[in-house]
Structure 1
Amino acid sequence: MLYAAFLTIIDQELNAKVRPAHLEYVNDLYKQGKVLMAGPFTDKQGGLVIYKAESQEEARKLAEADPVIVEGARTLELREWSPLELPLN
């Protein structure tokens, strides 16, 4: 299953400090097959991580272990995501 983690920045200074650890964390999970894709929003207010997990609990555990969440630089909104199989026709 796929889960979308919306990571909204609440402390820009702290986020800048923790961002290298965040990027390393996301990259490591990508290499393990636990992250499908990730990236910042163009408004510079946060980003999105798409997790591949067996359950919501696993996805939440992964998302809550992200350094930007652990350190309190960003908030987390986690939602199960069901992408469309495109094209539809």
Structure 2
Amino acid sequence: MKYLATLTIIDQEKHQASRPAHLKYVSELYEQRKVFAAGPFPDGKGGLVIYDCDSDDEAKRLANADPAVTSGARTVELRAWTTLDLPLHF
């Protein structure tokens, strides 16, 4: 199942310091097929990570272990997400 993690920046100084570790973390999870996609919002206030996990607990564990979150640079809001089987035929 996919999980959307909205990461909102709450401390710019901590964000700058934790960003390299955050990017490394997300990239490593992508290589493990635990991250489907990730990227920043154009307004510079945070970003989104889409996790691909087997359970709610796994998604929570991965999202909360992100260095951007553990450093106090960002908050995380996690939601389960179901994709549509596109294209839809009517």
TM-score by length of 2: 0.96
The aligned counterpart of 2:49 is 49
Distance 2:88 2:3 in 1: 22
Say which SS state the counterpart of residue 43 (structure 2) adopts: coil
Aligned match of 2:8: 8
1:35 aligns with 2:73: no
CA RMSD, 1 decimal: 0.6
- When the two structures are superposed, what TM-score results if normalisation uses the length of structure 1? 0.97
Offset at residue 17 of structure 1 (A): 1.0
CA distance in 1, matches of 2:22, 2:46: 12
Shift of 1:12: 1.0
- Unaligned ranges ≥5, structure 1: none
For 1:87 and 1:31, locate their aligned partners in 2 and report how far apart those are by CA, in whole Å. 28
Q: Give a deviation string over 1:1-51, Cα, whole Å, max 9, x none.
A: 110000000001110110000000000000001000000001100000000
Q: Secondary structure at the match of 2:8?
A: strand
Residue 83 (structure 2) pairs with residue 83 (structure 1)? yes
Amino acid at match of 1:13: E
Gap regions ≥5 residues in structure 2: none
Give the Cα separation in 2 of the matches to 1:62 and 1:7.
13
Identity among equivalent positions (%) equals 60
How far off its partner does 1:85 sit?
Answer: 1.8
